[in-house]
Chains A and B, each alone.
Chain A
């Protein structure tokens, strides 16, 4: 059997950082509990909000350890802190503060990153954090949102602001052509038949590429804008209705980040699973564009299609 290579899906520019600043700026007007903690990045977007709320829009300068410590301290006084910078400086650099000043204190904050895995491709490795979700996965209790469209940001963020727990919102400037229902659980976008090869879970910005890459394959495609807590029950149900309980997860961050969740979801079924994501076997020492990095990691439509076919049509 031969198949023509699938038509590549366009990756659509997403003004998610604008959606974030608009949502939080509006919420500052109505929620006295809310405080924004910055480390210079995006401070220019909060100039007016800082003028109106100088005690609740706090730019600490380039001090990321302090940013998380301050978020923890604010939460201990009953405030709802939102901390924001690029992903590597939000999660990786102050990781012990995330572990101790938030989780271990029993304090909650909303961490909002931008830059995703390699939106800033031309900046190089220093500005890439494909391991962010895997790192947070080493700590208990996190909710992790990975919106795939700018219009998904506001409802996810507004819900996060109302809670008290720890929430990570992973923004990207790239994503899908249309906003999708955001959950809480897996949302079926394309249902396979009762004899289908299995289930593909597309996380956030990966959906359009997954849909294009699996065109013509009899599989169920489910969308996840929220990956923690992972919808184990939903995935188990989708696998039960598929011809095979085989699951391919396509994530925009480190490959295999959710493999343990899939294993737990399907522990009562004989199954196969495969993970696609940012490769673990070496640094991609390239600059260029995010599309160049998609190709390098096999996360363009062609790379996903090739491996999806190999997995579902062995």
Chain B
């Protein structure tokens, strides 16, 4: 029926988000996570709709479940979701709500919304892969700097560092939204616990790619992606 070309490019993300919001000129600049999400799904993660059930796939865990429209848009661009599903955004019978539900969203590895749960789940996922001898798949967890306020993250950061989970990467999108801030920098919180810590401009896809693929043998990797402060 539809003859329009599929929306599969980075430049198509505003149009895909527009299908959800009904706003064709959606101000995508408002979303702090779009480049990180795009670089991960376009260049870093080894996962596709065909391999979404493969135990050896890479895992992406969206811990910061707020504002998931860029996430849904990227999943649609990569074929996990169809356009009709985007149009039903946030309806009662839609799989897509304001916080993702892994039971409903094809391709979503976790359900999130309450902050501070993704990294613990990511540590468990990384440990489960290690226990099964699956050395290939990697686990990426996307968080926000405000989310780091939740104490549960610090249980996970300390344990992941000590356990040397080199199949785990935490990506912290830093838009300076933490009420009391992180004096000394977010990287130091991870580095002090034994992580390899990097930072990158959060809108620079090439720099993000380099940081996300930095070698981190024997230790987990933290990438702080800095974007313009919120507000």
Contacts and interface: CB of A to CB of B under 8 A. Distances in A.
Nearest to A109: B124
Given A69-B121, A78-B128, A105-B103, 13 more contacts: A32-B132, A60-B159, A65-B120, A65-B152, A66-B123, A70-B127, A76-B109, A76-B110, A76-B121, A96-B114, A97-B117, A101-B117, A105-B110
Contacts of A60: 155, 159
A77 B120 contact: no
B120 A78 contact: no
B107 to A, nearest CB: 14
Nearest to B134: A77
A73 B120 contact: yes
Contact of A105 (B111, B123, B131, B156): B111
Nearest to A37: B124
Count chain A CB atoms within 10 A of each CB in B109, B120, B126, B129 and give the residue with the most. B120
B124 A55 contact: no
A100 B102 CA distance: 11
Nearest to B121: A73
A110 to B, nearest CB: 14
A74 B111 contact: no
A239 interface: no
A55 B135 CA distance: 13
Contacts of A76: 109-110, 121, 124-125, 128
A58 interface: yes
A72 B151 contact: no
Contact of A106 (B102, B128, B155): B102
B22 interface: no
Interface of B: 55, 101-103, 109-111, 114, 117, 119-132, 151-152, 155-156, 158-159
A153 interface: no
Given A77-B132, A100-B117, A105-B102, A69 B156 contact: yes
A73 B131 contact: no
Interface class of chain B by DSSP:
helix
Contacts of A78: 55, 128, 132
A65 B158 CA distance: 13
A229 B138 CA distance: 38
B130 A55 contact: yes
A77 B114 CA distance: 22
Nearest to B159: A60
Nearest to A69: B120
Contacts of B155: 60, 63, 65-66
15 contacts: A32-B132, A60-B155, A60-B159, A61-B158, A66-B120, A66-B123, A68-B120, A69-B152, A70-B121, A73-B121, A73-B128, A76-B110, A81-B124, A100-B117, A105-B110
A86 to B, nearest CB: 17
A106 B105 CA distance: 13
Interface in A25-67: 32, 35, 55-56, 58, 60-61, 63, 65-66
Contacts of A35: 127-128, 131
10 shortest interchain CB distances as A-B pairs: A73-B124, A69-B120, A77-B128, A70-B124, A66-B155, A73-B125, A63-B155, A55-B131, A74-B128, A65-B152
A72 B111 contact: no
A101 B101 CA distance: 12
Contact of B55 (A68, A70, A72, A77): A77
A71 interface: yes
A56 B159 CA distance: 15
Nearest to A54: B131
A72 B112 CA distance: 13
Contact of B121 (A61, A63, A101): A101
A79 B114 contact: no
